[in-house]
Amino acid sequence: MSHHAAPSDHGSIDLLSPILNHLSPLSARIQAILDSQAPAPGPTAQPLRAGEFPDATPTTWSDLKADQPLLVRSLRALLTSLGLAQTPGNYSGEYPQKEVDFLLALGHDLRKHGLEAEHYGALARALGQAGADVLTLDEQAQATLEDAADLTCHLLALGSQRSTATATRTAEVLDVAEAYPGDEEAGRPAIGVIRVQESSPQPWWTGQYLDVRTPYGDTQWQYLHPATPANPDGLIEFHVRGDSETRRAILAEAQVGDQWVLGASYGFLSVDAEDERPVCMIAQDTGLAPLRALLLELAQQPEPPETALYVGADSVAELYELPSLLGFARAWDWLRVVPVAAEAAGIEDLTGTSAELDGLLRVGHAVNAAIRDGAWQDARVLVSGKEAQVSASVDALLAAGADPEQLSVDKA
């Protein structure tokens, strides 16, 4: 499947070079045109500290600069989606399906900035007008640019209409707890568990991650994985690892009563209830969160599948959820929990689990333990963690003989 611009005969035109050479003034001109001519973005929920009140000032296009890169993303979409970046000078007016999917997803994502379908006509006109004002294009090239802008923005608008759910909603912080204090000398970030409650619960699939904005640090949107299943009460538990400036700010500043903002849900990590094969879960660090949520959902089934959870960390102390997981394993005969740490020191720090860990703890990496046990064979395999961890785990599983169709991965 592909999407096409309006029929035209623009020949071979190189638009990439002039756009890239004038990206900064082009973006500034687009911003100015939108501010003066386009309908203002719609209202969105605001992150607030406890006791603060929302800013009642109407949102303008310029206000989106703090949440950028809106214009940069739009221009990048304009270029890459039409293949101009790959083959500049061979614009065909056609979108490959991969780029169609990218633009639809981008349009859905930009709803969190207050952009709905009605805003994209104005954005297309601004892209075309800014090109005429800033770039030195002949009539043919200008027509090509306008065609590309129209098709790009049409697909962005379609993407914004894919969901009827509210684009953003608030969530109040109910509880903030330290799960692991961190070890600065060893370069191991702290981990916190933060529980919130949505003001207007929206549907999402257990195992997905959510777009989240908090009032701390640079207040940028980021992705966090719920460690609990979706529920009608809107109660969500997040596991936050302080491995970035934004997440360190969350751990340092989050207080009960603060207001977070939640956006769309993403990801495809799931366990099909109709699939009778056993399940092998491999989690590293806070990659445990979505797998924990799926475990809690599986526990609600009449006959959950046999499930092995390999939960890994650099040190025993970072196995922050281990006492609860071992409790799950005692309560659910279908669940086996295998803790794996790169080094064994620190068992004594896990109150009440030392004796239970004797003979249970593996030293090394979670994926290697799963491979040695053969837990992946004839099973559905779910892998979650940081991108490098997930990639290394997938490579190891494939090298061991796993079928790619067995694997479902997510990057926490």
Task: Assign 387 to helix, strand or coil.
Answer: helix
CA distance 158 to 127: 18
pLDDT digits (tens, 9 = 90+) for 304-360: 999 999 999 999 999 999 999 999 999 999 999 999 999 877 666 655 555 566 678
CA atoms within 13 A on the CB side of 237: 18
Quote the domain boundaries for residue 45: 3-160
Give yes or no: residues 151 and 255 share one domain. Answer: no
- Domain finish residue from 160, 190, 222: 160
- Asked if 198 and 234 count as a contact pair (C-beta separation under 8 A), the reply is yes
Task: Assign 303 to helix, strand or coil.
Answer: coil
pLDDT of 7 > 50? The answer is no
Picking from 131-135, 291-295, 363-367, which range would have the lowest pLDDT averaged per residue? 131-135
CA distance 167 to 103: 17
Give yes or no: residues 317 and 217 share one domain. Answer: no
- Note the pTM of the prediction, 2 decimals: 0.87
Give yes or no: residues 37 and 133 share one domain. Answer: yes
* Residue 272 included in any domain: no
By CB atoms closer than 10 A (0-12, 13-18, 19+), residue 410 is: buried
pLDDT of 75 > 70? The answer is no
Give yes or no: residues 208 and 312 share one domain. Answer: no
- Average the pLDDT over 96-119 and give the result: 87
Give yes or no: residues 154 and 178 share one domain. Answer: no
Give yes or no: residues 300 and 392 share one domain. Answer: yes
The CATH number given to whatever domain includes residue 118 is 1.10.490
Residue of 8 and 132 predicted with greater confidence: 132
Strands (E), 352-403: 362-363, 380-385
Give yes or no: residues 25 and 57 share one domain. Answer: yes
Count of the separate structural domains present in the chain: 3
The chain-wide mean pLDDT, for the chain, equals 87
Rounded percentage of the chain residues whose pLDDT exceeds 70: 85
Which has the closest alpha carbon to 384: 408, 365, 404, 353?
408
pLDDT of 87 > 50? The answer is no
Backbone angles phi, psi at 187, to 5 degrees: 70, 30
pLDDT at position 62? 77
Give yes or no: residues 152 and 173 share one domain. Answer: no
pLDDT digits (tens, 9 = 90+) for 209-231: 999 999 999 888 999 999 999 99
Task: Enumerate helices (H) and strands (E) in the chain, giving the number of each.
Answer: 12, 14
pLDDT at position 395? 98
Give yes or no: residues 233 and 336 share one domain. Answer: no
pLDDT at position 200? 93
Give yes or no: residues 47 and 180 share one domain. Answer: no
| pLDDT band of 370, cuts 50, 70, 90 | very high
- Cα angle 70-74-77, degrees, rounded to a multiple of 5: 140
- Domain finish residue from 266, 296, 316: 266
Give yes or no: residues 260 and 283 share one domain. Answer: no
- Average the pLDDT over 39-47 and give the result: 92
The CATH number given to whatever domain includes residue 186 is 2.40.30.10
pLDDT digits (tens, 9 = 90+) for 144-154: 888 888 988 99
pLDDT of 130 > 70? The answer is yes
* Residue 192 included in any domain: yes
